[in-house]
Structure 1
């Protein structure tokens, strides 16, 4: 039986690239049978990565069977994993997010959770000297994961470890970080083909805050006007998506990568009050609020959300 390696639902670049990297390491270095899979369609930036290095899109799965051996990367949150994850045989977890209760394993396992910006950076450390065996496509994939999660070192989640590794990988590949990142961000910014509901689910995480449940959506872009021009229809879709996904409210933050600020949509009075309490701002009667310096969901948005 092959071990399935996967990240969270709504896979971004790190949750697409990291399973591919770890499956390569298990197959080619450790000599174990492994397959990278996804829990949904990769976003446009992750799709760009697959195309750039001519990588086949991993198989998309809806759930896992009882006893299936799995390695979980880039999450440890059961809400972001297959419904039957509790009955799988979890062999390892590699992550950089806060611990969330709920996962149970059949025995002791290797768990690595580090305060780094990117799962791929942690994997590089775990590979040790074997990381030197990575082919060019793997180095490019690792670089893309780091630049995506750090917003090319703009995010407050960035550590010196992430930055040094990205610069080393770029040097090995003979590419310039800013040019490589700008190509990635351009791909991420083209959301014209997606419906409002797809945009709201594209890069989102579920959270419980003061007894209410939320889908917290973040769209990182160098062209925020392309998203904000759809503001009215997006706010209408928030209510539909909330009902369909069984949450109380959808929150949307449109992150302008270049200006390093987020625009939060304000569809109702509850979100208005939440924005003012969470970010010490005043919304007035506007249906959006600009939050200067807010670009990281993990460090700046999620920890501050309050009702």
Structure 2
């Protein structure tokens, strides 16, 4: 039975590409038998990446068999993993997020958590000289992951090393980063085929603060007006998702990639008060508020949520 390599639920580009990248490395360089899998449908940007580099979409799984060997990438949060993760045998964790806690392993394992913008950058470093053996499709996936997670180096999570690795990969692939990133972001911005409920859940993470559970959702786009035209129906969807997912509040941030700001939907007075306290802003009576300079959930949004 192959070791399964996967990232978090609601897979974005990094959680789609990194399992593919690391499974290639473990199979082709380390001689192991592994398989990349997903914990949900990839978002539109991730799907574009798979098509662009002619990569097979990994199998989507919902549960794990008892004793299944797994490698977890791009998360260490049990809430973002299958409910049956406690039954699996976790062999390795590679991540770039804060430590959450709650995972139990059956023995000592290798855990790599580094303060970089992207899991794929960590993998590049871990490969060492063997990174030169990556075929173009794997390099393309790695470049896509880095550009996605850094918003083409606009995100405050970006490090010089993330940029250096991306520029090296782009050079080897003969890719011009500005044009390539524009294609990626255009794919990410096309949400016309998704329902309002799907948009709310598409790129979201659960987060607890002082006894309250949040679903913190982001929609990164170069066309925020397209999303905001659906504001009224999104507010209705938020209420449904809060009830169905058993969370106290959904916080939906629409990230304008080009203007580098976030618009937050304020579906009720409680959320309005939370946003005002968390981001030192005044919301007034409007049902949205714009937060200049806010683009990163990991570094700017989740650490600041206060109730």
SS of residue paired to 2:165 = helix
Match of 1:201 in 2: 201
Number of equivalences: 307
- Inter-partner Cα distance in structure 1 for 2:213 and 2:175: 43
Are residue 157 (structure 1) and residue 130 (structure 2) matched?
Answer: no
TM-score, normalised relative to structure 2: 0.99
Match of 2:246 in 1: 246
Match of 2:166 in 1: 166
- Inter-partner Cα distance in structure 1 for 2:252 and 2:85: 28
Are residue 144 (structure 1) and residue 144 (structure 2) matched?
Answer: yes
- Inter-partner Cα distance in structure 2 for 1:244 and 1:157: 32
SS of residue paired to 2:29 = helix
- Inter-partner Cα distance in structure 1 for 2:61 and 2:174: 35
Match of 2:111 in 1: 111
Task: Show structure 2 runs of 5+ residues with no match.
Answer: none
- Displacement of 1:72 after TM fit? 0.1
- Inter-partner Cα distance in structure 2 for 1:281 and 1:219: 21
Show the 5 A alignment for 1:11-90.
11-90=11-90
Show the 5 A alignment for 1:91-130.
91-130=91-130
- Inter-partner Cα distance in structure 1 for 2:175 and 2:21: 20
Show the 5 A alignment for 1:169-248.
169-248=169-248
- Inter-partner Cα distance in structure 2 for 1:55 and 1:94: 22
SS of residue paired to 1:30 = coil
- Displacement of 1:54 after TM fit? 1.1
Match of 1:282 in 2: 282
SS of residue paired to 1:239 = helix
- Inter-partner Cα distance in structure 2 for 1:166 and 1:137: 14
Match of 1:260 in 2: 260
Are residue 9 (structure 1) and residue 9 (structure 2) matched?
Answer: yes
- Inter-partner Cα distance in structure 1 for 2:262 and 2:185: 16
- Displacement of 1:101 after TM fit? 1.1
- For residues 16-60 of structure 1, the C-alpha deviation after alignment (integer angstroms, 9 at most, x for no partner) is 000000000011110000000000000000000000011111000
- Inter-partner Cα distance in structure 2 for 1:121 and 1:44: 22
- Inter-partner Cα distance in structure 2 for 1:269 and 1:210: 18
> Could you list the runs of 4 or more consecutive aligned residues of structure 1 that deviate by over 4 angstroms after TM superposition?
none
- Inter-partner Cα distance in structure 2 for 1:254 and 1:210: 25
- Inter-partner Cα distance in structure 2 for 1:186 and 1:258: 12
